[in-house]
Structure formats: structure tokens, C-alpha cells
Structure 1
């Protein structure tokens, strides 16, 4: 049985208290790589120990066996547990025995009709819906499936406590985002991705990996099956052991590749829409993104795949497709809500608060710019290095490597009334500048640029 971390036990306690307070459908937000399945398994163990039935729903075939193993390992009475894919359960919902608790994994999918059919079939059951991202590109809210949202620890806190590995984020700019086109689902079309990404991207991806993460085990996310195969071939030709997998790969072959990867016999697995949500691959040290996405959920699943902690480890994230331009760094603070939202609010929730995000042309490091030199390699920065981002964006952090939130560092103990009657030229510190901007309802980025102009930010 796995020993739960303190924050996981705290989450279970909060869920228990919420149920006792009358909440019967709770969305539990937990960042990727923080043991959502283990938390659910512990709750299931306690429930089945009292003779209660539970229903556990996943949306991918690969996750069923993994969840079952976790539940058995955690001591769940498996005779009282029904574990299956939503596609199967929704077809046989009339045949199921009444569960006391329904668990939904990756619950941002729960608004789909297949989930709704299951949830409405058991009105007396407690519903616990787990997700890293209670957020949808459509802006649709979750009020119809939940009466409470429980927000977990921040990614920054989890890194500082050692529950997640810190990251170095790199973003070579090799994509023409103007060519990206959307399909009806809100995601980019494969054809437009192919047109946007330069033909030599695969060679660059190999060279960049060898420069930044040589000998580290990596997962590479590509946009279709053919691109996964081409990338694996390019790695092999460079002397890097790589295999391509996708949903079209036969299960026995896919299992062999995953086993070889876990045993360290393969350096890189390239994949198309497979290792996104849920699947546990604890020895990933590097993530290579070659698939642009409009989904915050996918972005966090991609980028945080390498953040399982190990003493002395720093995860390497190589973003070849500018996903950081849409969402900011994966460590950024985000505000979650059950209610629906307009486009402006969705951008804020997604993490589009990235004014000052810069890519260093010398080392490709990506960070929130606060000075004229790269905090990673020390190279001088030019104005051309800054990415084209939303003018309404808000500065959140200094740099991924240092994990420091500029806003928290300079906003503490500000006495707002002291600056109310002053002109901007009379402001003497960044604390006063930020307070002044808030009083006058200026754009979030104003304080940063005015402070920079005044020489108060180095």
C-alpha cells in the first residue's frame, strides 16, 4: 500500500468535510503528477471497507488496468468496485448496481452526454470528479455536474515542497502560428499544423534534445501518427534509441515499448495523442512538444509529464511550437471556477497572463523577462527576443528556474492610500507603482513597464 503524502491526506479530509456539510457532487482540482488516482483509491478503500459500492470511470482504455492495479495495491475491496471506460459503462448503466460513490477521472470531460447519462442514473450517489483543469475551451461551466469546487495546492507550492520537480523551459521559435486553423472541436487541424511547422523541425528537435537533454529519457508529443514515426526515425539516425507509438499501435507492441522504456532500454518515445492524460511513466525527465494545442488541459498534461520528482532532478521541457505563448509557463498561478466564462476570463484562466515572456536566442530558455540578460545563460537580450503576446496580459513570475512570483514579492504590505493623491512621477517604489495602477484600473502590465522605465526593475 502506498503511503499518502500530507497534502493528499489533507485533500481527503477536505472532501470528507464537504460531504458532511451537504455537498454531494464535488469537483476536486489537483495538478497533474500529484496522485489523483491514489487519492481516489484511498477514498474507495475506506468506502468499500464499510461495505459500500463504488464506480470509477475513465475515458481511455489504457487507464482501466492501471487504475485497477492502483486500487488493488491500495487495499480497495475490488469486489465492490466497478472500474471501466465511460463508453462501456454508459451503454450498460441500467445493469449496474447502485454505487455509493462515483469517481470520474479527468472530469473536465464530464459535460459530455455519456457522462451525464451515468450521473443522472444514480442521483443518490456521491459524485467526486477529479481533474487538473476544471476548464473548457467553450467557456461552458460545470454548475450542472457539481455543487462545489475544491482547489488543490498550486504547482509552485508542490515544487517548493518537493512533491514535483522544478523545470527548465525551452522554446525555440520554429512555427508560423498565423497558419494554424481551427476545427469544429476548437483544436488545430492536422493539415494546418503541418503547414505551420517548418520541414526541418524534426532535425531541429533532435539537435535541440542533444544539446539540452542528451541521455535523458523523454516523451515527444507530435500531431499525427506519421510525424511520430518520422521523429523516431530521425532520433534513431542520430544514435538515440527511440520508438513511435500511437492509438493505432497494436496493444501488445505498445505494452512492449512502454515496458522497454520503463526499463531504460529506450531513450525516447514519440507519440500521437496517447500519453496525455493519466498514464503513469515515472522516469520521464524531458518533454518535447511538437504539437500546438488550444487546450489548457493538454498543455499541462504535456508539460508536466516530466515533473515526477527525484533528488537533484530538474525537468526539461522543450516547446518547439509556441504553446507557452498561449498559456504562459506551466507553473503560473491560475484561477478556477465552476461557472462559465467569456473569452477574456477564459484567457486568464488558461494562463494567458504572460506579458514579458521571452525566448533567449542563445540558449532557448523561456522565462518572464525582468531585465536585459538571460537568467539562465547570461546572454544579452534584445527587444526582438520578446514574444508577441496579449496586450492585456499580466506579469506573474520572474523565471521558471527561480520560481519567484514578482507580484507577491513586491505587493506585500502596500498602503494603498499613501499613493492615492500622487502623480506617477512621485511614486518611489514598485509597491507604490502597483498600488497606483490598481487604484486607476490600469492594465496589469502597466506597473511592470512603468517600473522598468523608471529604473526600479533591473
Structure 2
């Protein structure tokens, strides 16, 4: 059996306290790399120990195999446990024994139809929604299915208490973010192709050699083509590497992961695989070559290397400026507010990137301004220029960008986010349901109407 950490026991105690208070559908937030599966296994052990049935639901095959092994090691009565993929379980509901408790892993997906079918089939079951990031892209949030949330320890607390490794974060900015376009809550592959500087592939290797040489690294790419190019650049530099994606045969993928775990491979380049759950304990460096609008993906990417080890400092290399959208991994986040569906929220933003972030012109280290020591970079000791002077923004060509230009860039990004949210909110409406001029303008843009249409319709509405 696993020996639970104090914070894991504290989370379990809070779950039972919430149940005693009458809650039946509870979100359990735990940061990545903090043993969510062990917590679930212990709750399952206690549940089956009282002769109650448990159902465990996940959406990835790799994670399911690991979870089954953890449940068995924790002495869960597997005769009372149903564990499966959400797609499979949702099709077999008529043939399954009703559970007393449902455990849903990576539960930010839980509003999908297959999950909802399971929840509706067992209205009397207790449900625990486990996730590191209880926030979804799109309108509806987890308050649609849950009635309480238990928030785990912060990433800062876990780092300060040595449950997560400290890290250095470097931003390289090999990207033109103005070319990024969204669909279904994240950037399209086509727009990422256009936005990424072609120099990024060679630069990934050079910056790895400069910042993390000799450390095992996982690289996140947005497409199979880009992943294969990155792998080729590492191989050309004499650094052992492999590429895995959704088309890689399962046995080949398992063999490559096993080689990486045995430290026979230095670099594992992947496309959308090593995000949720998969155990890669010896990763000391993460390289992000894929921009994202998903906070869940960002934290899974950036925190993949934070498993602690004596004397370890992890390295996070961000070639695509994801920190401009989300801040640093260690930012405090208001998860209680994040689970509230957007039209019910208070005015408090859940997308705030937190304390002021700055970058070193010398090493591209990215850190809180408050972490500077005697006005010097905490990573390399380089003296930082005064804030009101020009400074180099993180791109590979070291292009000088004025402070005013950076502020304008961030304002433009914020305006685009607001516009995208407005477009998604009016997408399913008819003209008769529109109220503000901004809504009419967004509707006109969405449907290809002339700009004058919005003003005419808005004036007409006000007359009536």
C-alpha cells in the first residue's frame, strides 16, 4: 500500500466532511504531479471495504492501466470496482451494477455527453470529480454538474514543502501570436503552422543545449510534422530522441516510453500524448513548442517536469509565450470562481496572470519582478534595466520592442479574447435575442453581414 502524504489525507478528510454536509457531487482539485490517483485509490479502498461499489471513469487508455495498478496496490476490492474508459462505460450502462460512488478522473471533461449519460444513469451515486484544472474552455462550467469544490494545496505551497521541484522558466517567443486562430476553444493546427517561426526547430535544440544540456526532456508539439522535425534536429545534434503521436503503434510507443524511463533516450517529442496522467518520473526539462488557450493543457505541459528529487531544479522552456496568457505555473488561481458558469460569475477575473512578470535580456529567464535580487536576474545575475527603458522581448532574433509596444500587444490580445468570448456567446442566438451594439456587430461579423446592418438593427431595437 501507498503511505499517504499529509496533504492527501487532508483532502480525503475534506471529501468526507463535504459528504456529511449533504453534498453528493464534489469537485476535488489537486495540482498535477501530486498523486490524484493515490487519493482516489484510498477513497475506493475505504468504499469497497464497506461493501459498496465504486466506478472509476477516465478517457485515456494509458491512464486507465496505471490507475488499475494503483488501485490493486492500495488493496481496493477489485470485485466491487468497475474501471473503464468513458466511451466504453457509457455504452454498457444497462449491463453494469449500479455504483455507490463514481470517481471521474480529469473531470474538466465531465460535461461531454458520454460523461453526462453516466451521471444521469446513476442519480443516487456520490460523484467525485478529480482534476488539476476545474475550468473549461467555452461557456458552461462544472457548476452544471457539481455542488461543492475542495481546493488542494497551491503549487507554491507544494514547492516550498518539497513535494514539487523548484524550476526555472525561460521564454523564447519563436512565434507570431497575431496569426493564431481559435476553433473549439483552442488554436487550430493551421494557424499554429503559420504562427511558428521556421527557425524554431533548430532553436529548440540550441536552447536545450544552452539551458538544460544533459537533462531528460519532453517536447510538446502541435502536429506530427513539427514533432518529426524537432526529433530530426536533436538527432542531427547527436542527442538521442524519439517521436510519438496518436498514430504510433501502441507497442512501439510503450517500448519508447520504457526506454525513456530507463534513461536510454534523452528527448521524447510528442503530440498531445503526455499531458494527463501518464507517469514519466525522470523528466527534468519540458520544452513547449505548442501554444494553447487551455489552462489545463498549459499546466499539464509546464508541470510535467516537477517531480521532486534531491538537488533538482527543473527547466521549463517556453518557445511560444504561453506565459503571456497564463502567467507562471506557480500563480495562485481562484478555482472556486473558475467553476462558475460565466454569466453567473462576479466581476472578478479568473484569467488574471497574477504578479508582474519580467524577463531577463541576457538569459531569457522569466520570473516575478519581486524575485529580482538587487535589480538582477535571479537566474543568471544579469543587471536588469530600468522598467521605463527599452528591453528585449523574448524572441530568437533579439528584436528590440518598446515597452509601449509590448503594452499594446497585450491589450490587443486581451481585446481579441473579449471578442472571441462575445462571438461564442452569440453563436447560437437569433437577431431577436441580441441586446447590445457589440452583440449585433459580432453577429454581423459571424454571418458575413455588412457593418451597417448591425447599426441599423440596433437602432431599430432601441425604438421598440
Shift of 1:217: 0.7
Aligned to 1:299: 298
Aligned to 1:231: 230
Is 2:200 aligned against 1:220? no
Secondary structure of 2:335 counterpart: coil
Q: Measured at CA, do residues 221 and 32 of structure 1 come closer, stay the same or move farther in structure 2, by a change above 3 Å?
A: same
CA distance in 2, matches of 1:41, 1:186: 32
Is 2:16 aligned against 1:16? yes
Q: Measured at CA, do residues 344 and 231 of structure 1 come closer, stay the same or move farther in structure 2, by a change above 3 Å?
A: farther
Equivalent runs, 1:201-216 vs 2, <5 Å = 201-216=200-215
8 Å contact from structure 2 (residues 163, 308) kept in 1: yes
Is 2:111 aligned against 1:104? no
CA distance in 2, matches of 1:7, 1:357: 29
Aligned to 1:80: 80
Aligned to 2:197: 198
CA distance in 2, matches of 1:21, 1:292: 41
Aligned to 1:316: 315
Shift of 1:379: 1.9
Structure 2: runs of 5+ lacking an equivalent: 394-405, 414-464
Equivalent runs, 1:273-288 vs 2, <5 Å = 273-288=272-287
8 Å contact from structure 1 (residues 289, 318) kept in 2: yes
CA distance in 2, matches of 1:342, 1:331: 28
CA distance in 1, matches of 2:287, 2:27: 30
Cα RMSD between the aligned structures? 2.0
The match for 1:384 among 376, 380, 391 is 391
The Cα offsets for residues 71-111 of structure 1, whole Å up to 9 and x where unpaired, read as 11111111111111111111111211010100000111101
CA distance in 1, matches of 2:229, 2:344: 37
8 Å contact from structure 1 (residues 141, 340) kept in 2: yes
8 Å contact from structure 1 (residues 352, 390) kept in 2: no
CA distance in 2, matches of 1:369, 1:319: 18
Is 2:350 aligned against 1:349? yes
Shift of 1:346: 9.8
Structure 1: runs of 5+ lacking an equivalent: 394-458
CA distance in 1, matches of 2:343, 2:313: 36
Is 2:8 aligned against 1:5? no
CA distance in 1, matches of 2:258, 2:311: 25
Equivalent runs, 1:29-178 vs 2, <5 Å = 29-178=29-178
Shift of 1:347: 9.2
CA distance in 1, matches of 2:321, 2:263: 30
Q: Measured at CA, do residues 321 and 346 of structure 1 come closer, stay the same or move farther in structure 2, by a change above 3 Å?
A: farther
8 Å contact from structure 2 (residues 361, 391) kept in 1: no
TM-score, normalisation: structure 2:
0.81
8 Å contact from structure 1 (residues 137, 346) kept in 2: no
TM-score, normalisation: structure 1:
0.82
Shift of 1:252: 0.3
Shift of 1:392: 12
Shift of 1:172: 1.0
Q: Measured at CA, do residues 264 and 55 of structure 1 come closer, stay the same or move farther in structure 2, by a change above 3 Å?
A: same
Shift of 1:319: 0.3
8 Å contact from structure 1 (residues 139, 346) kept in 2: no
CA distance in 2, matches of 1:385, 1:366: 12
8 Å contact from structure 1 (residues 296, 350) kept in 2: no
Aligned to 1:325: 324
CA distance in 2, matches of 1:173, 1:148: 39
Aligned to 2:362: 362
CA distance in 2, matches of 1:346, 1:272: 36
The Cα offsets for residues 278-324 of structure 1, whole Å up to 9 and x where unpaired, read as 11111111000000000000000000000011111111100000000
Q: Measured at CA, do residues 350 and 60 of structure 1 come closer, stay the same or move farther in structure 2, by a change above 3 Å?
A: farther
8 Å contact from structure 1 (residues 334, 348) kept in 2: no
Secondary structure of 1:352 counterpart: coil
Q: Measured at CA, do residues 239 and 164 of structure 1 come closer, stay the same or move farther in structure 2, by a change above 3 Å?
A: same
Shift of 1:235: 0.5
CA distance in 2, matches of 1:172, 1:200: 12
8 Å contact from structure 1 (residues 243, 270) kept in 2: yes
Q: How many residues align?
A: 391
Q: Measured at CA, do residues 130 and 276 of structure 1 come closer, stay the same or move farther in structure 2, by a change above 3 Å?
A: same
